[in-house]
Structure 1
Amino acid sequence: MLTIRQPVAVKFILTEQTKQQLIAEHRFHIERLQMELEQLEVAGKQALEQAMAQGGDVAQQVKEQIEAEKQARIAQREQLIEQIQQIQQMELGTEIQNMTVETTVDVHVGDDWTKILQGAEIIIKDGIVHEIRRGGEPVPETE
């Protein structure tokens, strides 16, 4: 026997409650990004004024850095908006990959390697473990 570490996919079943929770989380992140953009605007003006006193090259570098920071946040915001639209269109009952955790698996001579490679999944529904699967098959509760 050998014990190996293996990733476990954690998925959740999309329910109305989960859908609304995801949308609320995304909207919160969008609002945070918007506040960061506003702060960048104010801080950027101050930094640019200070940099201009030091010379054109410094000012240009500061301006480019501020613009890059703004564009990164705008891209994140757009991605979150797109994700909200996707979530709104998803059918209830859809399984969505959420994260990956790690577990240990005992491997014995004679085990079906393809089933071991298929790994395990934990399925969550409204915050409760709904099902555990190993090798694509449900694991009985007695395990």
Structure 2
Amino acid sequence: MLIRQPVAVKFILTESTKQQILSEHRRQIERLTAELEQLEAQGAQAVEQAMAQGGDVAQQVRQRFEQEKAARVQQRDQLIQQIQQIQQMELGTEIQNMNVETNVEVRVGDDWGKILRGAEIIIKDGVVHEIRRGGESVQE
């Protein structure tokens, strides 16, 4: 019988991957900062235009822009926090990246505990470094 099972994809933190992650996070922070500046300008202009329609409309427009700005500030703060965490991590640390799914064949007599422990794919510098099933390394 075939069952679907999640597979954890992890990567080993090397100097190269560390720099890639930090660079990507910094680019995202720059993008969010630019979006915040743009929202600030657009928000001021939109509120000004809404004032002609009345105070309630202007207040709603202002709230919408404040929510948009707050969401981006929160994203930026999370990225800054992640940068700090990555900088403190030791090289060689395994970091959870994503999950994918696979089909696993289950037969009578299989160790269910091993099946439940699932599988992992370990990536090092963009190359599959190791595959684990049930916590044990397998060669495929």
Q: Same fold (TM over 0.5)?
A: yes
**CA-CA distance at 1:61 after TM superposition:** 0.7
Partner of 2:26: 27
* Structure 2 counterpart of 1:112: 111
Counterpart position of 1:136: 135
Distance 1:35 1:45 in 2: 16
* SS of aligned partner of 2:52: helix
Give ranges in structure 2 of 5+ residues lacking alignment. Answer: none
TM-score calculated relative to the size of structure 1: 0.96
Q: Structure 1 residue 79: deviation in Å?
A: 0.8
Take 1:72 and 1:3, find their aligned partners in 2: how far apart are those partners? 42
Give runs of ≥4 in structure 1 deviating > 3 Å.
none
Provide TM-score, normalisation by structure 2. 0.98
Unmatched segments (≥5 aa) in structure 1: none
Rounded to whole Å, the distance in 2 between the matches of 1:93 and 1:34 is 32
In structure 2, what is the Cα distance between the partners aligned to 1:20 and 1:81?
A: 15
Q: How many residues align?
A: 140
Instruction: State the shift of 1:76 in Å.
Output: 0.8
Q: What is the CA distance between 1:130 and its match in structure 2?
A: 0.1
Residue equivalent to 1:86: 85
- Aligned residue number for residue 12 of structure 2: 13
- For the residue of structure 1 that corresponds to 2:6, the secondary structure is strand
Identical columns (%): 76
Render the CA deviation track for 1:64-84: whole Å, top value 9, x for unaligned: 111111111111111101100
